[in-house]
Structure 1
């Protein structure tokens, strides 16, 4: 089975923590609750790529990585998840994810692969998760749900030197359909900080969830 991500992609992702690469048209977009967001316009799609720099107080990076990877738990704390599960197709783990969109818009669904690496960089512990959409013939499109074919995300986590986590995230998502660009921009502006806030709370509640699951 072909590797989905190259070693270089993990290296490039974590290096953004030290030296954010913002040349080549990246512009400052917004800052809210300690989270800075930059964006880059994509002529081809008319949409933006985003880079997010921020922190999660009171959560260790390893805990954040575990929470982020736990799909079952995500269904508990992320209200936008309609369906989320991992399946094995031809020896490859593929994730199906359906996202609730507000009426009258159609829900979106994703088929993607991801990989996590826990790196040791000269004694620094850094957690990197990469994800990208793929096409999968065994996952046909559903009526009334729009398939997102362009989705890429990187998440990098490192201790902030205290009890919290430094976070870098890159993402591009083309939701398709007839969504006005102002709405997509609004979602990026408000959605990312609120996602990080939700994730922070999810980290705090994770041990309780794990105990309950073990019965």
Structure 2
């Protein structure tokens, strides 16, 4: 299973590709639609998300998405999040809080940013994927199978059009039904928090002296 390359993400922004075994999953109240694809080998799902943030400029959205320090302010599930050097390249270390009866998960991944101009359309594409490196912390489970592609452009008005393609296998002894339930609640919650974070970012920048 491989997620979108930048070229495929551009096509998805223009027209969603959710035929075949892709299933409509749910729609968030502000018009964001989520689709999922069942993966037989893991009994998990990968997800495609389409929608707009009608009151968020795309450059603002990109700034919020890229700002790791700010995410620690608005994402309550972040335990640790920082950029580090590993094997001669910059990687992102991300530890996620889990309920008290489960071990936290952490990720080591690279995030590629592509700023594109396609026939006058200004588009940003971000591709994230796990890489080996950094020692595993005691009591924390390392996620080794995580991919995310995000594509962003103007909606032609005052907002941002967004496409996301996402898969995450948390590993460990978590029942599959619980993983899929967490995705059903966690993905919409993250998008709503991201929307709110965009609205609050100018004030955060003023207060932090950015």
What's the TM-score, normalizing by structure 2? Answer: 0.93
1:127 corresponds, among 113, 124, 129, to 124
CA RMSD of aligned residues (A): 1.4
1:3 corresponds in structure 2 to none
SS at match of 2:148: strand
Q: CA deviation at 1:19?
A: 2.2
- Matches for 1:102-117 after TM superposition, within 5 Å: 102-117=99-114
The answer on 1:94 being equivalent to 2:91 is yes
Deviation readout 1:31-74 (Å, 9 max, x if unpaired)? 22212111111122111111011111211111111111110111
The answer on 1:19 being equivalent to 2:15 is yes
The answer on 1:79 being equivalent to 2:72 is no
2:203 corresponds, among 175, 197, 208, to 208
Q: CA deviation at 1:182?
A: 2.0
Which blocks of at least 5 consecutive residues in structure 1 are unaligned? 1-7
SS at match of 1:104: coil
SS at match of 1:93: strand
Give me the whole-angstrom Cα distance separating, in 1, the residues matched to 2:81 and 2:147. Answer: 17
1:197 corresponds in structure 2 to 192
1:56 corresponds in structure 2 to 53
Which blocks of at least 5 consecutive residues in structure 2 are unaligned? none
Indicate how the Cα distance of structure 1 residues 59 and 187 shifts in structure 2: closer, same or farther if over 3 A, else same.
same
Deviation readout 1:86-109 (Å, 9 max, x if unpaired)? 012233111100000112111000
SS at match of 2:158: coil
Q: CA deviation at 1:24?
A: 3.6
SS at match of 1:163: coil
* Conserved 8 A contact 1:56-1:196: no
Aligned residues: 206
